[in-house]
Amino acid sequence: MTATTSASASDAGSNMTVPLIEARAVTRILPGIVPTTLVRDINLRIDANEFIAITGPSGSGKSSLLYLLGLLDLPTSGEVLIKGKATSRMSEKERALTRLSTLGFVFQFHFLLPEFTILDNVTLPMRALGALPADAMRDRGRELLSSFGLADHIDKRPDQLSGGQRQRVAVARALANEPLIILADEPTGSLDSKSSEQVFQVLRHIVDDHGKTVVAVTHHLGLAERMDRRIELIDGAISSDEIAARV
């Protein structure tokens, strides 16, 4: 990647297709004696097979935006659409089903359940969605863990793995229901440089070899510069949106 060009309202030449996620004039304000604006007037489209970094200084609204895009929070005004469907008027049950079937989540801390094996952790989203029989869930879980170099660890519990291995399990869990989009909040933030690189390569593999879209909040500018698109927030608003030219 040697050059960047403006994404110009995130067109990326894909105006003829329905975006996977679209934010239209999205604002989130926390009420209080002094209301706090987390994000303001966000207009954004995210399409298939993108690898996107969301960057910005602390308190700029990066995680708040990710939670809005992932339907973990609702905007005060504006609308988030998933595959063209408005979500603000969905019931919580509909939003939960959309999250389970379309979105996968990876957080800074893996949030694996310590009493379960890593295979059982990976099958949890599949059990919640209920689209596969039990044997098929476990077969898919083994396949995912094997693809991330964890075939020999499926019966271990999270505390028996390294930090990087646990985060790879978290990525496998995020892929369990074959979502179109992975939303990652500081996925390498708690890892050393070697483990960070391993997780980055896993995310890169998901985009390049599986055609998924990955949107990652990160403060690690070295990793952000190696992604295909970088959205920078300042004071809750998008200050730049650039697409990197891959060579």
- Among residues 102, 108, 105, 140, which one has the least CA distance to residue 122? 140
Question: What pLDDT is attached to residue 195?
Answer: 80
Q: Check residue 72 and give its pLDDT.
A: 93
Residues 209-223: what's their mean pLDDT? 90
Nearest to 165 by CA among 203, 130, 195, 210: 195
Q: What is the pLDDT of residue 13?
A: 45
Mean per-residue pLDDT, 47-63? 93
Is residue 1 in some structural domain? no
The rounded distance, in Å, linking the Cα atoms of 50 and 175 is 16
Residue entry with tokens 């800074």: 108
Confidence class for position 89, pLDDT limits 50, 70, 90? confident
DSSP character string of 52-68: EEEE-STTSSHHHHHHH
CATH number for position 188: 3.40.50.300
Task: Assess if residue 47 is contained within a domain.
Answer: yes
6 within some domain: no
Give mean pLDDT, residues 229-234. 95
**Position 191 in a domain:** yes
What is the predicted pLDDT for the residue at 245?
A: 59
Output the pLDDT for position 246. Answer: 56
Residue 8 has pLDDT above 70, yes or no: no
Q: What is the pLDDT of residue 212?
A: 93
Between CA 72 and CA 202 the distance in angstroms is: 24
Structural domain tally of the chain? 1
Each residue's pLDDT tens digit, 157-210: 999 998 888 888 998 999 999 999 999 988 877 778 888 888 888 899 899 988
Residue 90 lies in a domain: yes
Percent of the chain at pLDDT exceeding 90: 63
- Helical H runs in the chain? 62-69, 92-102, 118-129, 134-147, 163-174, 193-210, 221-224
What is the SS3 assignment for 14? coil
Mean pLDDT, residues 92-103 taken together: 92
Q: Cα–Cα distance between 214 and 51 in angstroms, integer?
A: 5
Share of the chain above pLDDT 70, in %: 92
Confidence class of residue 57 from pLDDT cuts 50, 70 and 90? very high
Q: Which residues pair with 53 in a beta bridge?
A: 216, 230
Q: For residue 16, give the 3-state DSSP assignment.
A: coil
pLDDT at 94: 93
Torsion of CA 153, 208, 246, 20, to 10 degrees: -120
Confidence of residue 84 (pLDDT cuts 50, 70, 90): very high
Mean of all residue pLDDT scores within the chain:
87
Least confident of 9-23, 56-70, 71-85, 118-132: 9-23
Listed in sequence order, the residues at least 6 apart from 189 whose beta carbon sits closer than 8 Å to its beta carbon are 108, 218, 219, 220
Sheet holding 181-185, edge to edge: 3-6, 237-245, 229-234, 51-55, 213-217, 181-185, 103-106
CA dist., res. 190 & res. 48, Å (int): 28
- Residue 63 placed within a domain: yes
Tell me which residue range forms the domain holding 106: 15-242
- The answer to the question of residue 10 being in a domain is no
Q: Would you state the structure tokens that stand for residue 197, as one six-digit string?
A: 């690189």
User: 42 in a domain, yes or no?
Assistant: yes
